[in-house]
Structures are given as C-alpha cells and as structure tokens.
Amino acid sequence: MKRIVVLLSGRGSNMLAIAEALRRERWPASIVGVIGDRPGAAGLQRAGELGLPAALVDFRGFARREDFERALAEAIDAHEPDVVVLAGFMRVLGAPFVEHYRGRLLNIHPSLLPAFPGLATHRRALQAGVAVHGATVHFVGTEVDAGPIVAQAAVPVLADDDEAALAARVLELEHRLYPMALHWFVEDRLRLEGGRVRLLDPRPGETRLLWHEAR
Ligand code: GAR
C-alpha cells in the first residue's frame, strides 16, 4: 500500500478527484493525510467529511518560511508518506523542503509548462492568444512550476472564452490528469531519467497526453 499525503490551500477539487479515483479503481494506496496551509481552505473541510485525517499548518503562525516548512515537513513525515501531492498548494517551497521530498513530490499546474509558470495562468493564456492551453503534472524541482513532466492535458482556447470558461475546461481535465499520473506513481511505473519522465509498460492507448474531447 502506497501512502499518499495531499497538501492544499483552497477548495480541494483535485484532492477529491484523487480520492474518488483511488476508491473507484481500488488502487493499492490510501490518502493518509490532508494538510492545509490556511484555515479557510474548503478542501480541509471536504477531506474531513470524507473521513480523511485533515490537519492545518497555518503559514501565518511562522515569521520565516524555513520555520513554516520545517513544521510542515514534520506534519507530513508523521504520516510516513511514499508520495506527497500538491493539489492547489499555493506556496513557493524552498530548496531544503524540495530536496527532502525529491522524486516523491508531485504538483499540478494549470498551464502547459514550461508556458505560464506562476499565477493567473488562464488570463495570461488568453492575453497571449494561444490556441491550446492546459495543465501539467510534474515532479517538483527547486524552480517554481518546473521539474520533470509526468503528464499533460491540452484543451482548445475558443474564440469567446473568458477566464472562467477556460479555467473550467482545464479543471475538468485536471480531475482526470492528476489521478492518472498519481496512479502511475502508485504502480511504480514512473522512471526519472535525467530531467525526463518515462512511463514504463505503457498499455494500449495509454499516453502521457490527455486531450479535451469536444462535445
Ligand atoms: C488547480 O487549478 C491547480 O491546477 C492550481 O490550483 C487549482 C486548485 O484547485 N494550482 C496552481 O495554480 C499551483 N501553481 P482545487 O483546490 O480545486 O484542486
């Protein structure tokens, strides 16, 4: 059984998608902890409602980032995780923290990295006039929103899209992308080779790319 810890800052819809996929597909894994960095995070409440152990490490209680990250790592490590999943965790993590979890720290970012790291990705994609946008699951490296890419999901940008419409189209695919990528990790099918990720034993039709299907 692989032990998963989820970190979040907000509504927790990716955490829920993972929890549902894990149960539905009977992964050899369980979510052993959900940790939030701010008291208002709806995702913490939703985790509690699912019966998942939910805890808060409030970043506002720490004067220095290093102290917050040390407390966060202690809370995480108490669960003895095999993998730590950032699911809308809106903090930049320092090098010691990232090093401690190297190879077992995953993130989802709402853009086709390396395009649009950082915030407001959907607005910036619209402003740039791109025709394709999406989301990326990657191993976390020491640079912000960078690191070996596990899988990506691509959606079209439509002529009449606003930020909300585009975000919703991307989020729908995030909810398939993150469980898919994490399931591969749980099955020990991801191999890091240099700065790249290889999916071992791909099954027929299985690729590291999800496409939006027009309805
Ligand atoms: C998701 O869209 C995720 O990709 C993004 O925050 C949202 C969290 O939603 N993450 C980042 O921007 C990280 N840089 P959720 O709380 O409903 O899962």
pLDDT tens digits for 42-83? 999 999 999 999 999 999 999 999 999 999 999 999 999 999
Range 1-101: architecture per CATH = 3-Layer(aba) Sandwich (3.40)
Residue 151 Cα to ligand 1 middle (Å): 16
To test the pocket of ligand 1, the residue of 174, 176, 177, 182 to mutate (highest count of ligand atoms within 8 Å of its CB) is 174
CA distance 50 to 149: 30
Look at the block and give the residue holding tokens 């995780």.
Answer: 81
Sign of CA dihedral 13, 36, 92, 81: negative
Domain with CATH 3.40.50.170 in the chain: 1-101, 108-199+206-215
Nearest protein CA to atom 6 of ligand 1, as residue: 88
Q: 2 with 83: CB under 8 angstroms?
A: yes
Query: What does each of the 215 residues of the chain score in pLDDT, given as a tens digit?
Result: 999 999 999 999 999 999 999 999 999 999 999 999 999 999 999 999 999 999 999 999 999 999 999 999 999 999 999 999 999 999 999 999 999 999 999 999 999 999 999 999 999 999 999 999 999 999 999 999 999 999 999 999 999 999 999 999 999 999 999 999 999 999 999 999 989 999 999 999 999 999 998 66
Q: 174 with 139: CB under 8 angstroms?
A: no
On whether the pTM is more than 0.85, the answer is yes
CA distance 166 to 140: 25
Residue 20 Cα to ligand 1 middle (Å): 17
CATH of 108-199+206-215 among 1.10.10.2840, 3.30.420.130, 3.40.50.170, 2.170.140.10: 3.40.50.170
Among 54, 149, 139, residue whose Cα is nearest residue 98? 139
pLDDT given for residue 213 in this prediction: 84
